[in-house]
Amino acid sequence: MRQRSTRDMQRKTEEEAENRKPRHTLNVETQVITYVFLALFLALVAYFIYFMAFKSEDFINNPANPRVKGFEKLVVRGEIKASDGTVLAKTVTSNGEEVREYPKGREYAHVVGYNSNGMSGIEADNSFYMLRSHAFIVNRIVNDLKNEKNPGDNVVTTLDTSLQDVAYNGMGYYQGAVVAIDCNTGGILAMVSKPDFDPNTVTTNWKSLSSDENSALLNRATQGLYPPGSTFKVITALAYLKNGGKLTDTFDCKGSYTEDG
Contacts of 74 (CB under 8 A, 6+ apart): 133, 149, 150
Element (H, E) at 57: helix 56-60
CA distances in angstroms from 225 to 176, 179, 218, 222, listed in the order given: 11, 15, 11, 8
CA torsion through residues 189, 151, 199, 220, sign? positive
Query: Whose CA is closest to 113, among 67, 72, 61?
Result: 61
Active-site residue list: 230
Burial of residue 122 (number of CB atoms within 10 Å: 0-12, 13-18, 19+): buried
The radius of gyration of the chain's CA atoms, rounded to the nearest angstrom, is 34
CB 227 within 8 A of CB 220: no
